[in-house]
Structure 1
């Protein structure tokens, strides 16, 4: 279904000389600037009753702006009864603990069975939201917490908070190699020049910052806690591989399986059987997009990653390895 919206606001003298798209983003802050710009171009914004010319049109002050737009169903995908592990829900947001193997958004090779399909099934009103309210994504085989908006206002504010780095996301990971201390990776990330499905550190890419600290040391592996300042595709996986410590099981960035010298049969079996990147979104903290209340959630590390850590711990003990 489509949703008709008709809003009106008065331009103040303080806005004199400002561009139309800038003023609209202030007066109608529930909508993203990109969406407002699109409505201007489509002729759905009026200045004193006339159709606005262009997004960069300068305002004189004291005009009356009218937004008369139709929000079409922006999603062509079908609702499906996908099981969602919801850890929190209210009228504006829900927080999901994503399982391994569950795709967030339909794409090439994954047209159904995604979180988006599940959202359309459980919340039919999400059809009027961009990406059904999905604000940020996790890779298919990364587990853990992600927030989804249930209204235009909530989605707009959450996207803005992400861009302003006001949402805290902390991850648990197991990296290959013995790391002595935590640190920071501040390297831009862009599309790989030849492998178009992969990302890579690229001086011409978008800024990307990852903080990491050592949580536990094993003989030839390290358990980490990481925080993102930015949210680039594959960011943690690319950054850790870039500094020589790719994540255990990463099928894209870790290369061939590396087994510790003298590894027990148990550890060999566990590492060979772990077929995804050892990465879990363990903590999410944000200000509620409507009430402003600070909220935080934790998600326990999944059993398959716990199994890997336990095996690495026993391996270290068996070799009388000490820090």
Structure 2
């Protein structure tokens, strides 16, 4: 059943100068920032008795904030016994190492068998947290570190931290082509104007997106990179690398058919063609703990298929150098 809620609180000195959405989130931490924004835009939030539908409106000490909204029943997802690789856990957060092939959240074509279904099984109380505590996502075929909130206050803080770019995420990737130096891609990302299931650099309607990268290892016709995100747009690394002419190895959406370098052995060509997902792994995560404030950092080695691809590329490069010496 739907539930009517009526919330009232005064802005304190701690929220002086906050935007309305920030102040409401601080005053009523049991509700997510996305839900609060929806309420504001729907005209369900008042400041001193006057409706405000502007999330960015500034608030001041002593103002009375009122929320009159209805909590609608959300879609119920089924708990499923799916193994989770837990890197760290306490009362407030989980850090997991997601395998490639696991969808994070149910959606069209993936109503079950997701990380969310697994979280509901292992942590039944997490059903009380929006999106089962999921703060950010990784693409289905991207492996690596993710943080999950076990409580509403922890999720609210982590989402705010993510939006403020205070969370550091670094990735290990293998891209096609040869890089001469590291750099930065600063290009907005939005829906592809033709293929609506894909993303693209979009200077007219895209959202700002920044990716930093440096070289980890050079191969004959590929480069291993370490990348750091400033923003978290859908498919950001994959789109940014494509935009500078260096698609990720194996990327089934943005990469096209793999092209082994000239003179490649049959074994190496098969290894390259057999890697059928984007070579991308979330290898480092650093954040401020949402409750204790402690700075924490985790690392995760890439999975075996990624290591095998890197080893094959390395062996090919060494063999090519030997042939040049003759």
TM-score, normalised with respect to structure 2: 0.87
> What's the offset of the Cα at 1:130?
1.7
Of 16-25 and 232-241, more deviation after overlay is shown by: 16-25
- Residue 198 of structure 1 and its aligned partner are, at CA, apart by 0.4
1:45/1:66 contact within 8 Å kept = yes
4+ long deviations beyond 2 Å? 1-48, 52-75
Which residue number corresponds to residue 236 of structure 2?
235
Q: CA deviation at 1:10?
A: 3.2
Q: Does 1:83 align with 2:83?
A: yes
- Which residue is 1:27 aligned to? 27
Deviation at 1:194, TM superposition (A): 1.2
Supply the distance in 2 between the matched residues of 1:163 and 1:292 (Cα, whole angstroms): 17
Which residue in the other structure is 2:184 paired with?
184
Output aligned runs, 1:93-112, within 5 Å. Answer: 93-112=93-112
Q: CA deviation at 1:131?
A: 1.1
Q: Which residue of 2 aligns with 1:150?
A: 150
Give runs of aligned pairs for residues 80-229 of structure 1, distance below 5 A: 80-204=80-204, 205-229=206-230
Change (3 A) 1:8 1:162: same
Q: For residues 122-148 of structure 1, give each alpha carbon's deviation from its aligned partner in whole angstroms, at most 9, with x where no partner exists.
A: 112222222111010000000000001
- Tell whether 2:270 aligns with 1:273: no
Taking the aligned partners of 2:13 and 2:169, their CA distance within structure 1 comes to: 41
- Answer whether contact 2:44 2:51 (CA < 8 A) is retained: no
Contact 1:208 1:229 in 2 (8 A): yes
The answer for unaligned runs of 5 or more in structure 1 is none
Distance 1:236 1:19 in 2: 31
CA contact 1:3–1:70 (8 Å) conserved in 2: yes
Whether the 8 Å contact between 1:19 and 1:55 is mirrored in structure 2 is no
Name 1:260's counterpart in structure 2. Answer: 261
- Residue equivalent to 1:302: 303
Structure 2: state its 5+ residue gaps.
none
- Structure 2 SS opposite 1:320: helix
Provide the aligned C-alpha RMSD in A: 3.1
The corresponding residue for 1:315 is 316
Q: 1:13, CA displacement in angstroms? A: 8.7
Alpha-carbon shift at residue 178 of structure 1 (Å): 1.2
Partner of 1:54: 51
CA shift in 2, pair 1:13/1:77, >3 Å:
closer
Provide the secondary structure at the position in 1 that maps to 2:170: strand
Cα distance, 1:170 vs. partner? 0.5
Structure-2 separation of matches of 1:302 and 1:310 = 12
